[in-house]
Structure 1
Amino acid sequence: MDHETDVRLAAGPDESRYLDAVFVPGAQLGTRSDDPTAFVRVVEVRDVTKIRIPSGRLVVDSPWPEDDDPLPGPHVGRELAVRIPAGVFRVEAAWTEAPYEFMGERFADREVAAVRLCITEDAVTRWEMALGVEDDIETVHAGERVGFDSETGMGCFADAAAWEALTAPFRAFWKGAREGIGQPRDTESLCNDFFERVSDEGHGADLLAFTAEGACAVWLGRTATGALASVAVADGYHAVAGNPGR
């Protein structure tokens, strides 16, 4: 039976257009929200890495502890209610540029506007918000956005069963910083520090961290039959004004 998207979770027209366009090289997403003369364009879409999710349970959340978290334990990551097949999945990122001028100089303002975990290679025909395992659909109203909050400027994809092990480098760095101890973070930098990867061989699982600011919805891309094709976070959506187009 085809999956039916609850209207309370369905992406609105502007969000759908943005999500459809942001992974298309050369697409114009609109203009900068603070400058209607500066166009935001997708300049590159490419694979970042592949990550292992052997449990089929996916967390999309900030990997960092919160201020009120007891250390050294991890905070509880937001595990998605949807399940994915156990396996290895590629992560794709879309970079945009929106030129601006500052003190007589021009800057490209290149940034990662969206990332997605590719479950299949099938075409996405609709988008819906992903509920967490503790979310109640009956408390969600049409137009409301649910997701994770990131006050640290970072989100991640990670295997839920390995969450404690995979977030350990972030907790150790956080603890050291609070104690005034400077130390490098035990993560692998990818794509000129735009991403960080952590692997745990005990679980055979990985975490990939990416830029995410403030309140972030997590989007499920579904095919015409309702099958899950991708899980995406579009951090650049609120920085764009106008409707995406080509």
Structure 2
Amino acid sequence: MDLAADARVAAEPEENWYLDTAFTPGAMLGTRHDDPSVPVRVVEVREVTTIRIPSGRLVVDAPWPDEDGIDLRTRTGRELAERIPPGAYRMEAAWTEAPYDFMGERFDGRELAAVRLLVAETPVARWEMALGVGDDIERVRPGDRRIGFRTETGTGGFGDAVAWPALTAPFLEFWQGARAGNRQPRRTEDLFGGAFELVQDEEHGADLVTFGAEGDDVVWLGRTEAGELASVAVASGYHLFSREPPF
């Protein structure tokens, strides 16, 4: 359902600007908090991998389990209310750099700015906050950004909802092993030097790809002029620096 015209979920001007600009190589997204003279620029936008979503039901959430007493269990992933056509979709990531010096050394200040799942190649005309299954639009107020997923491990992920228990099993097993004093490598594939992790479940023909995330994360739906879904994005670097968008 297209809720883009509803002020309760529509992105504010600054959010629209950031989501549009974050995937523009060379664009300036702002300046460093600690040094306004240093620009934060988008230095790279690359395809991470292709993600299979055979059910058309997309989860965007942390893959790690919740800890509840002595038991560890895979939590139910936050499934988006919006459905996508079953298929395989390209995932892209954008990085920024803002160089700085620390204890006599020079660092590039490279950070993940945003990730997105490309549902269609049509340009995005507007953004809206993605409601999850069970979220009630009537309980959302304009500017409310509590709707989304929460992570305590700095990790989010795109994955198929039906295959979610199987796709997140390596994270549950790793955590259980660590609790038992048996820390073994996770049954995942590192992408981009470990910046992302890929899990594949051939029984469902589905994938999960992780990415860096903050504590509380809004998932954004990018819509075309016609209101069709074109992109699903998480702006993980939105609060990392000072922004002066050209409104």
TM-score range, shorter chain: over 0.9
8 A contact 1:3–1:227 mirrored in 2? no
8 A contact 1:8–1:142 mirrored in 2? yes
Change (3 A) 1:94 1:156: same
Task: Output the amino acid matched with 2:84.
Answer: I
1:212 Cα deviation after fit: 0.4
Q: Name which of structure 1's ranges 99-108 and 196-205 shifts more when overlaid on structure 2.
A: 99-108
1:101 Cα deviation after fit: 1.5
SS at match of 2:17: helix
Task: Output the amino acid matched with 1:90.
Answer: R
Q: Which residue of 1 aligns with 2:213?
A: 212
What does 1:48-127 correspond to in 2, within 5 Å? 48-68=48-68, 71=71, 73-127=73-127
Change (3 A) 1:129 1:170: same
Change (3 A) 1:128 1:176: same
Provide the rounded CA distance (Å) in 1 between the counterparts of 2:32 and 2:69: 36
Task: Output the amino acid matched with 2:76.
Answer: V
1:72 Cα deviation after fit: 5.5
Stretches of structure 2 that go unaligned for 5 or more consecutive residues are: none
Change (3 A) 1:118 1:70: farther
8 A contact 1:220–1:232 mirrored in 2? yes
**What whole-Å deviation, never above 9, does each CA across 1:18-55 have from its counterpart, x for those lacking one?**
10100000000001234322211000001000010000
Q: Are 1:152 and 2:149 matched, yes or no?
A: no
8 A contact 2:65–2:72 mirrored in 1? no
What does 1:22-33 correspond to in 2, within 5 Å? 22-33=22-33
Q: Which residue of 1 aligns with 2:36?
A: 36
1:69 Cα deviation after fit: 7.8
TM-score by length of 1: 0.95
**What whole-Å deviation, never above 9, does each CA across 1:87-127 have from its counterpart, x for those lacking one?**
00000000111111111222101121100000001000100
Stretches of structure 1 that go unaligned for 5 or more consecutive residues are: none
1:242 Cα deviation after fit: 1.9
Provide the rounded CA distance (Å) in 1 between the counterparts of 2:99 and 2:58: 35
Provide the rounded CA distance (Å) in 2 between the counterparts of 1:69 and 1:9: 36
What does 1:153-232 correspond to in 2, within 5 Å? 153-232=154-233
Question: Taking every aligned residue pair, what percent have the same amino acid on both sides?
Answer: 64
Provide the rounded CA distance (Å) in 2 between the counterparts of 1:28 and 1:14: 14
Q: Which residue of 1 aligns with 2:129?
A: 129
8 A contact 2:3–2:10 mirrored in 1? no
TM-score by length of 2: 0.95
SS at match of 1:239: coil
1:139 Cα deviation after fit: 1.1
Task: Output the amino acid matched with 1:194.
Answer: A
SS at match of 1:67: strand
1:2 Cα deviation after fit: 7.2
Provide the rounded CA distance (Å) in 1 between the counterparts of 2:69 and 2:35: 39
Provide the rounded CA distance (Å) in 1 between the counterparts of 2:32 and 2:101: 12
Over the aligned positions, Cα root-mean-square deviation in angstroms equals 1.6
Task: Output the amino acid matched with 1:20.
Answer: D
Provide the rounded CA distance (Å) in 1 between the counterparts of 2:91 and 2:167: 17
1:66 Cα deviation after fit: 1.3
8 A contact 1:17–1:243 mirrored in 2? no
8 A contact 1:220–1:228 mirrored in 2? yes
Q: Name which of structure 1's ranges 25-34 and 182-191 shifts more when overlaid on structure 2.
A: 25-34
Q: Name which of structure 1's ranges 124-133 and 26-35 shifts more when overlaid on structure 2.
A: 26-35
Provide the rounded CA distance (Å) in 1 between the counterparts of 2:85 and 2:16: 25
